[in-house]
A and B are shown apart, each in its own frame.
Chain A
Amino acid sequence: MTAETLTAAHTSSEPVVKLEGITKGFPDRKKGFQRIVGTTDVDIDEGEFITIIGPSGCGKSTILKMIAGLESVDEGSISLAGRPITAPSRELGIVFQQHVLLPWMSARQNVIFALETDPHQKRSKQELESLADEYLELVNLSHAADRRPTQLSGGMQQRVGIARAFALEPKVMLLDEPLGALDALTRHELQLQLLQLCEQQKRTFIMVTHDVDEALLLSDRILVMGAGPNAQIVHDMKVPFPRPRDVENLEQDPKYHELRSFLLNSLTGH
């Protein structure tokens, strides 16, 4: 399987993102090089919502950072639409775990900052503003566009971050535990909003989370990581529920509970 995918690098229906036997490690005095996390070959198709789930500390966020080009890959390679990823790119929109909004700018200015720094496309001031407003509208934040990050709640801050990532119109959205720092109520609310958004926007998503329900609600496919050190993907699971999804229907589906307990068991190591 590994050899086959390696040789068949240029097939007609190319996946958007290809992970080819990547690992990350650190130099170790005794053993020379110590691997901390790795994956086998993974192909991610256009429009797919894929979630990497795993116990904390297994290195799932590191994988996402490698895909983002923010961490170097020690072995193997990652490609985006056929080209290897070696540096961060605007084709990969990142939503960080904590909000990363520049505190001296309003919500709108933060989105504009992402748009105006585009080296490939120069836009007029009006264009920038109307685009920024459009994306803030997408996450229902038009009313708070002029507020500074400190004047926004945690959930609102995260929504600005999501709007900013969408504004880049990236090939792939990378979500690094995007709702991990929020309280339970806000989290649930944003999960539903995110579900609506990703079904509307038809993009490729790669998300990292440790929340089983979040993964099942949003994903088409879930990669389950084992425990570290040198954590690997232990399950590659399709999520069969049709879209558009509805939480209430989902929670009544026996299949949902079956998958949920399967995931929980594999995360706790049973």
Chain B
Amino acid sequence: MSTQTTQPAETTDATGAAQHPHTNTAPEALQRRAKAQRTRDRIQTTGLFVIFFLGFIGIWHLATVGLDDGGLAPTPGATWDRLLEMLGTAFLLDGPNNVGIFYHLLASIQRVLLGFGLAALIAVPLGLLLGTSRVIHDGMDPFIQILRPVSPLAWLPLGLALLRDSQMTAIFVIFMAALWPILVSTIDGVRRVNPLFLDLAKSLETDTRTRVFKVLLPATLPAIVTGLRTALSTAWLVIVAAEMIVGGRGMGHFVWNEWNALNTPSIVVAIVIIGGVGFLLDRSIAQLQRLVPKS
């Protein structure tokens, strides 16, 4: 396969080089050779992916067929059938126990975005404050250091006890998961701002507003976006576990429910969907990086 693509590229090389032996600009032949190289690389990558994928399916098949005593192990075939079935009923909404996968997904995304948004609203301004003021930071730091390593799920029972609402509790858990990465990253970002930028702002007699919005915030933006990315992916990790406990609608609840029904192929389908959506969420927040000026 690869020899076929290289062959014509090499013959044109020779003629192309002969046509422009002394010019300074890249001769056509060189460009063509580079292009052929890129095509070759792409074909190799795709080929490898296909091989890995087939290998993966093969191992999966052998493993599950061999183990399939009680019909619990999700075989590739059963999973494929289940995938088509779930996509077919994705928008089904027929009573509380018969909800399509789309609505589970929607519920999870809503919780994550709400909890994450609330966390960002609080963590970014707080981070700017704590990054600027050493004194306030040092007073607050013990709380951050003790609370940060705690699994957000540990807050779940407390949330249930205080809020007495499973929906609010799930959002609260996501809030606790997203808060720390944004806060810590923003504080760190403020501290890394070139101190001369602040000297400049002072020497221009700028007011606090200008200093924060025109100097500090743009200079800290890359670190804030990094914090937001980490927070969103953490939130997406946590929501599945939280929903297994709080119930209602959601991907976590769906997975746990299917396990209780011993319907393991659905779990594999759900895992792939959770992974795919997590990837898309990360990609979309990464777009914020484009707003960030290159420095």
Give A residues with C-beta under 8 Å from B.
68-70, 87-90, 92-94, 96, 98, 100, 102-104, 113-114, 117-119, 148, 150, 168
Give B residues with C-beta under 8 Å from A.
194, 196-197, 199-200, 202-207, 210, 214-215, 218-219, 293-295
Contact status A92-B294, CB under 8 Å:
no
How many contacting A-B pairs (Cβ < 8 A)? Answer: 58
Contact status A104-B202, CB under 8 Å:
no
User: Which single member of A93, A96, A103, A117 contacts B206 (CB below 8 Å)?
Assistant: A117
- Considering the complex, give the chain A residue whose CB is closest to the CB of B293: A104
Q: Report the minimum CB–CB distance from B225 to chain A (whole Å).
A: 14
Contact status A89-B205, CB under 8 Å:
yes
Q: How far is the CA of A100 from the CA of B294 in the complex (A)?
A: 15
Contact status A117-B204, CB under 8 Å:
yes
- Considering the complex, give the chain A residue whose CB is closest to the CB of B202: A88
Q: Report the minimum CB–CB distance from A149 to chain B (whole Å).
A: 8
Q: Report the minimum CB–CB distance from B219 to chain A (whole Å).
A: 8
Known: A68-B203, A90-B204, A103-B294. A96 touches B196 (CB 8 A): yes
User: Which single member of B196, B203, B210 contacts A90 (CB below 8 Å)?
Assistant: B203
A-side interface mostly: loop
Q: How far is the CA of A116 from the CA of B207 in the complex (A)?
A: 12
B-side interface mostly: helix
- Considering the complex, give the chain B residue whose CB is closest to the CB of A98: B196
User: Which single member of A88, A98, A103, A148 contacts B205 (CB below 8 Å)?
Assistant: A88
User: Which single member of B197, B205, B206, B295 contacts A100 (CB below 8 Å)?
Assistant: B197
Contacts of B197 in A (CB 8 A): 100, 102
Most buried by A among B197, B200, B214, B295: B200
Contacts of B207 in A (CB 8 A): 119
Q: How far is the CA of A87 from the CA of B204 in the complex (A)?
A: 11
13 contacts between A and B (CB under 8 A): A70-B199, A87-B202, A88-B204, A88-B205, A89-B203, A94-B203, A100-B200, A102-B219, A103-B293, A104-B295, A113-B214, A117-B206, A118-B205
Contacts of B218 in A (CB 8 A): 102, 104
Contacts of A88 in B (CB 8 A): 199, 202-205
Contact status B205-A90, CB under 8 Å:
yes
Known: A102-B218, A117-B206. A150 touches B294 (CB 8 A): yes
Q: How far is the CA of A94 from the CA of B202 in the complex (A)?
A: 11
Sorted from nearest, which 8 A-B pairs have the closest CB atoms?
A: A104-B293, A103-B295, A88-B203, A100-B196, A88-B202, A117-B206, A117-B204, A100-B200
Q: How far is the CA of A118 from the CA of B204 in the complex (A)?
A: 7
Contacts of B219 in A (CB 8 A): 102
Contact status B199-A100, CB under 8 Å:
yes
Contacts of B203 in A (CB 8 A): 68-70, 88-90, 92-94
Q: Report the minimum CB–CB distance from B125 to chain A (whole Å).
A: 20
Contacts of B202 in A (CB 8 A): 69-70, 87-88
